[in-house]
């Protein structure tokens, strides 16, 4: 009888620990990444043109990390979504994150950036310069498409505002999904791309196995 009670207590303890640490993520990856075929179709439908200028650009014209309710902003939501495990509610500070771009795992949110897959400056050069501030805010906080992903601060900052013709994730295995996320974002938001950018993306997606 004592052995049975101890077993029940152990199970209860394990359940409590699991619940306390919220170890199961909702998705751990951005949503709505297209298939290889769908990505190629969307890529070929995009307008190819020279990039616009940076005249008038400011990150302040893309208000980001908007409040999402319950004390969370967009950054917190992505940190929770992309984590392998999260200890905190908002603000998120501690957990476990696998940086998809470079294959490194981190346990402190301070080491993680939320990457805009299509950078804000790149969007500006590709059509967003004519948008309203409200639309740019929606773009910068897009949780419905694969535009935001939690990655290492170092990989995000090495990327800067480059497109896939000059920067792709250092981890080769991430380049397929990255290219598809890029295409889906530009397609969803009606942004153009330049010739070298399209060529680099085509090569990356053609190398995809899925």
Question: What gap in Å lies between CA 110 and CA 51, rounded to an integer?
Answer: 33
Instruction: Please state the φ and ψ torsions of residue 144, each to the nearest 5 degrees.
Output: -95, -20
Question: Could you tell me the pTM of the whole model?
Answer: 0.86
User: pLDDT tens-digit profile of 135-164?
Assistant: 999 999 999 999 999 999 999 999 999 999
Say what the pLDDT of residue 118 is. 98
User: pLDDT tens-digit profile of 115-125?
Assistant: 999 999 999 99
**91 upstream amide cis, omega within 30 of 0:** yes
Residues 150, 82: contact at Cβ < 8 Å?
yes
Let me know if 193 is exposed, middle or buried by CB neighbors in 10 A (0-12, 13-18, 19+): buried
Helices within 22-145 (DSSP H only): 36-45, 74-82, 120-125, 133-140
- For the cut 70, the answer to whether the pLDDT of residue 9 exceeds it is no
Q: Where are the beta strands (DSSP E) in 3-160?
A: 67-69, 72-73, 85-86, 94-99, 104-108, 112-116, 148-152
Name the nearest CA neighbour of 64 among 120, 117, 111.
120
User: pLDDT tens-digit profile of 84-102?
Assistant: 998 888 999 999 999 999 9
State mean pLDDT over 165-177: 97
Say what the pLDDT of residue 88 is. 84
- For the cut 70, the answer to whether the pLDDT of residue 24 exceeds it is no
User: pLDDT tens-digit profile of 172-209?
Assistant: 999 999 999 999 999 999 999 999 999 999 999 999 99
Say what the pLDDT of residue 86 is. 87
- For the cut 60, the answer to whether the pLDDT of residue 35 exceeds it is yes
Name the nearest CA neighbour of 78 among 148, 156, 25, 180.
148
Q: What percent of the chain has pLDDT over 90?
A: 84
Question: What gap in Å lies between CA 45 and CA 210, rounded to an integer?
Answer: 20
Name the nearest CA neighbour of 79 among 36, 44, 109.
109
User: pLDDT tens-digit profile of 59-72?
Assistant: 999 999 999 999 99
State mean pLDDT over 16-42: 69
């Amino acid at each position: 009888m004592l052995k049975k009670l101890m077993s029940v207590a152990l199970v209860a303890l394990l359940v409590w620990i699991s619940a306390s640490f919220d170890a199961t993520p909702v998705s751990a990856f951005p949503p709505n990444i297209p298939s290889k075929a769908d990505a190629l179709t969307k890529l070929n439908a995009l307008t190819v043109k020279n990039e616009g200028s940076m005249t008038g650009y400011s990150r302040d014209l893309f208000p980001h990390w908007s409040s999402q309710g319950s004390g969370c902003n967009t950054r917190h939501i992505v940190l929770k979504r992309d984590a392998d495990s999260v200890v905190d509610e908002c603000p998120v500070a501690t957990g476990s994150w696998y940086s998809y771009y470079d294959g490194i795992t981190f346990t402190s949110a301070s080491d993680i950036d939320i990457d805009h897959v299509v950078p804000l400056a790149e969007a500006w050069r590709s059509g967003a310069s004519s948008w309203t501030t409200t639309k740019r805010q929606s773009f910068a906080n897009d949780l419905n498409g694969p535009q935001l992903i939690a990655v290492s601060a170092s990989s995000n900052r090495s990327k800067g505002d480059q497109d896939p013709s000059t920067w792709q994730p250092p981890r080769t295995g991430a380049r397929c999904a990255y290219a598809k996320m890029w295409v889906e974002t530009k397609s969803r938001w009606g942004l153009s791309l330049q010739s070298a950018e399209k060529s680099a993306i085509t090569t990356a997606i053609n190398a995809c196995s899925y």
